[in-house]
Amino acid sequence: MADRQTDAVTAAIASLLAVTRNFFPMLLWAFTIVLLVAIGFATHFVGLIITMPIIGHASWHAYRNLVAPV
């Protein structure tokens, strides 16, 4: 929403379209996020210091590749 100055409904629709068009890669990415967060929890949250920026950065790049530029 901040990247494109759109409302929440438009952003939600774009997200749903991205997921339906790329279901299995998105499912794999979801499992990867769960695994990395679980590793962060298992290390008493210290691992989240490393994993959260990586997840955020990779998610941003995935978003930029999935959603067409304005």
pLDDT tens, residue by residue, 20-64? 999 999 999 999 999 999 999 999 999 999 999 999 999 999 988
**Residues 1, 7 contacting (CB under 8 angstroms):** yes
Q: Is the pLDDT of residue 67 over 90?
A: no
Helix pair angle (48-66, 23-42), 10° resolution: 170
Q: Is the pLDDT of residue 10 over 80?
A: yes
pLDDT band of residue 1 (cuts 50, 70, 90) is low
pLDDT band of residue 69 (cuts 50, 70, 90) is confident
Domain ranges of the chain: 8-66
